[in-house]
Structure 1
Amino acid sequence: MHLTNVLPDLDDDRRTGVRGLPHRLGARASAVVAAAGIVVGAVAVLVGSSGADLGAVAPIGWAFFAAVVLVAVATAVLALVRPPTRLLFRLVMLAALLLAAQLVATGGAVAA
């Protein structure tokens, strides 16, 4: 999330000498990496909730997984076709919220 939170400030940070990972990657790459990280988390929850048996994933798990991936893909596409804005941070936050809901909805299976 930090990768997208700093996007609106990259130019100001560059002028003041701040050189963190998002500055080195660039705005578009930072947004795509953040979106990919969320998808990796969603895959981990999906696989973990089923004990690696995707046939055993509950429909709610698939629904949350699909929602997370949809928002993450939208974030990456927006990052690639438009100049990065605060909207990308909000989309990554939404994807993370959906990922947390996915974990809660399928958490009993992960803990078992």
Structure 2
Amino acid sequence: MCGTKKAGAESIVVSGGYKDDEDYGNVIIYTGHGGQDSSNNQVSDQTLEDAGNAALVTSHMEGLPVRVLRGAHKGSIYAPATGYRYDGLYRVTSYGSKLGIDGFLVW
């Protein structure tokens, strides 16, 4: 994820890095940033204090588009077979928190 709280999110990468991500093609439920260990397990809560998560909230509040790149991974039929692909501009239509698969708060 690239961006700042003040300017909003410039881009996100959907590549299977977070267990709670859901990819439906034109709709992505994107788990924010933070709280993972090196094995991609969520080991602590995510916060809105994280610059990336705050950037996505700003994009939502200001109606700013976010560039989406998809990386190859077996978790999505919408992912490219190899490498990365630019998939266009998306809007953040909502945000919220929930208890994730690993038992920690994700945004």
Which structure is richer in relative contact order (CA contacts within 8 A, separation 6 or more)? 1
TM-score (norm 2): 0.24
Higher share of residues assigned strand: 2
Q: Which has the higher helix share?
A: 1
Question: What TM-score do you get using the length of structure 1 for normalisation?
Answer: 0.23
- Bigger radius of gyration: 1
